[in-house]
């Protein structure tokens, strides 16, 4: 007990207000974050390094044993530097799921305004001076101010690693690799405006116990037989990510994953300066229910198959039934970087997204009818002459 009390006394409160609205010492304009660990002034070109402020004394945290609770930035969080899921050099607070509401931090470090798009329903959290007349996701004009309700502040952030220039270059390379796209759509989309935004994610850590029944094969063809098996194992899910908002283009965001969460830093409002952040619309407990469904229906199946193959080497396996239970569930609310752009082609809106950390690109696009038509025609002509040539022998 004495060790826990001593540990909690050494936790420090994060004062983020002074970091958020940094003014340029040269001209007095507001500084913005530029990918590359720098704060820059867009007016006079002044630059300074971002100084990360850890939410706890890292040396104190690493010397503590077991799971400790303490006040950090206005809430309680679990510090687990020796746990399998916490990476070396990373001190991002994890909160036990059962204590989510009472122990979460609601201090963003400065005045924030929530705006809601009436078209796609996205919630955007930004500085009062950054309110836009258009939505960064769908470019609808109906963006209205919402009452500043009690929204949880993030615990961690992956800063932009790709700047706008590199994001545009990545998109142009993606366009070059597109098949059957109309020629003019490439020109229109290249000139589109790129918007940097931090997307909300829930990151879950959990111990999972799985028991299963399955089958493995022996032989092949007509001699292939199936044999029953069963087993159980423990698996630790580390930083299992779930999008914390419902959007029409969530599938596109999924395509630019994964994010390298090992590079996440404790939330520092300097990284958000000059960017907007989408607020979560899926609560943490609802998010965990969705994560469990995804794990049960998708993720755990590959793990089960690998477990079957470990004891019964086979090229073909089946999962016939499974039961899962979870324990030691904790979460982090993370902000992850995206570059967004939309363009209109023949009256329809198309989106593309660039991962602001890795540069991976995904997007929806129109197809050229004539390019597809002439390809099919070419294939039919080749098939016809091949058939005629084969018939002549």
- The pLDDT assigned to 337 comes to 95
Considering only 36-40, 60-64, 251-255, which range has the smallest mean pLDDT? 60-64
Between 317 and 15, residue with greater pLDDT: 317
pLDDT at residue 123 above 50?
yes
Residue 360 CA: distances (Å) to CA of 44, 60, 338, 341: 32, 38, 10, 14
Q: Nearest CA to 370 among 180, 235, 202, 133?
A: 180
Question: Range with the lowest mean pLDDT among 109-113, 207-211, 214-218, 226-230?
Answer: 109-113
pLDDT in tens, 347-384: 777 888 999 999 999 988 788 777 888 888 888 888 87
At residue 48, the pLDDT reads 82
* pLDDT score for 241: 95
When pLDDT is cut at 50, 70 and 90, the band that residue 84 belongs to is: very low
Tokens, residue 225: 């037989």
Rounded to a whole number, what is the largest CA-CA distance in the chain? 94
Residues 6+ apart with CB under 8 A from 15: none
Q: Is the pLDDT of residue 31 over 50?
A: yes
pLDDT for 269 equals 82
Instruction: Report the run of H or E that residue 6 belongs to, with start and end.
Output: helix 2-9
275, pLDDT greater than 50: yes
Confidence at residue 115, expressed as pLDDT on a 0 to 100 scale: 66
Which whole number is the average pLDDT over 32-41? Answer: 80
Percent of the chain with pLDDT over 70: 68
DSSP state of 299: I
Better-predicted residue by pLDDT, 189 or 277: 277
74 has a pLDDT exceeding 80: no
User: What are the strands, taking DSSP E only, across the chain?
Assistant: 32-34, 38-40, 47-49, 68-72, 75-79, 95-96, 113-117, 123-126, 143-146, 156-157, 195-218, 225-243, 265-266, 276-278, 317-345, 348-355, 361-363
Residue 211, pLDDT > 80, answer yes
| N- to C-terminal Cα separation, the chain | 92
117 has pLDDT over 60: yes
Sign of the torsion formed by the C-alpha atoms of 11, 12, 13 and 16: negative
Residue-wise pLDDT for 312-349, tens only, equals: 999 899 999 999 999 999 999 999 999 988 777 777 77
Percent residues over pLDDT 90 in the chain: 31
Short-list 334, 61, 325, CA closest to 208: 325
300-307 average pLDDT score = 95
How far is Cα 91 from Cα 155, in angstroms, rounded to an integer?
10
How far is the C-alpha of 335 from the C-alpha of 338, rounded, in Å?
A: 10
Please give the pLDDT value at position 91.
Answer: 67
User: What are the tokens at 264?
Assistant: 């996440």
Poorest-confidence range of 73-82, 177-186, 318-327?
73-82
pLDDT recorded at residue 121: 65
pLDDT at 259 over 50: yes
- The DSSP 8-state label assigned to residue 312 in this structure reads S
Mean pLDDT of the chain: 75
């Amino acid at each position: 007990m004495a060790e826990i009390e001593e540990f909690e006394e050494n936790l420090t409160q994060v004062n983020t207000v002074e970091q958020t609205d940094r003014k340029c010492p040269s001209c007095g304009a507001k500084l913005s974050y530029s990918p590359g660990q720098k704060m820059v002034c867009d007016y006079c070109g002044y630059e300074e390094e971002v100084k990360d402020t850890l939410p706890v004394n890292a040396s104190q945290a690493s010397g503590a044993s077991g799971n400790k609770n303490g006040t950090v930035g206005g809430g309680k969080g679990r510090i687990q530097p020796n746990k399998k899921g916490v990476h070396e050099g990373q001190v991002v607070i994890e909160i036990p799921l059962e204590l989510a509401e009472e122990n979460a931090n609601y201090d963003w470090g400065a005045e924030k305004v929530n705006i809601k798009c009436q078209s796609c329903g996205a919630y955007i959290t930004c500085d009062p001076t950054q309110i836009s007349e258009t939505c960064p996701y769908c470019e609808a004009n109906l963006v209205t101010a919402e009452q500043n309700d009690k929204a949880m502040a993030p615990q961690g952030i992956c800063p932009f690693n790709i700047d706008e220039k590199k994001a545009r270059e990545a998109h142009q390379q993606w366009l070059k690799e597109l098949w059957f796209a109309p020629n003019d759509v490439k020109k229109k989309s290249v000139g589109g405006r790129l918007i940097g935004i931090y997307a909300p994610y829930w990151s879950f850590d959990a111990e999972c116990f799985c028991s299963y029944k399955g089958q493995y094969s022996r032989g092949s063809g007509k001699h292939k037989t199936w044999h029953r098996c069963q087993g159980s194992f423990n698996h630790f899910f580390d930083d299992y990510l779930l999008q914390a908002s419902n959007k029409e283009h969530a599938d596109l965001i999924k395509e630019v994953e994964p994010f390298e969460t090992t590079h996440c830093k404790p939330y520092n409002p300097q990284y958000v300066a000059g960017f907007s952040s989408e607020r979560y619309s899926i609560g943490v407990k609802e998010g965990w229910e969705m994560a469990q469904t995804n794990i049960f229906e998708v993720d755990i199946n590959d793990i089960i198959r690998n477990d079957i193959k470990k004891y019964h080497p086979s090229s073909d396996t089946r999962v016939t039934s499974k039961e899962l239970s979870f324990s030691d569930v904790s979460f982090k609310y993370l902000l992850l970087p995206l570059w967004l752009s939309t363009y209109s082609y023949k009256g329809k809106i198309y989106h593309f997204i660039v991962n602001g950390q890795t540069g991976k690109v995904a997007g929806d696009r129109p197809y050229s009818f004539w390019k597809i038509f002439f390809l099919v025609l070419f294939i039919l002509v080749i098939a016809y002459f091949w058939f005629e040539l084969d018939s002549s022998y």
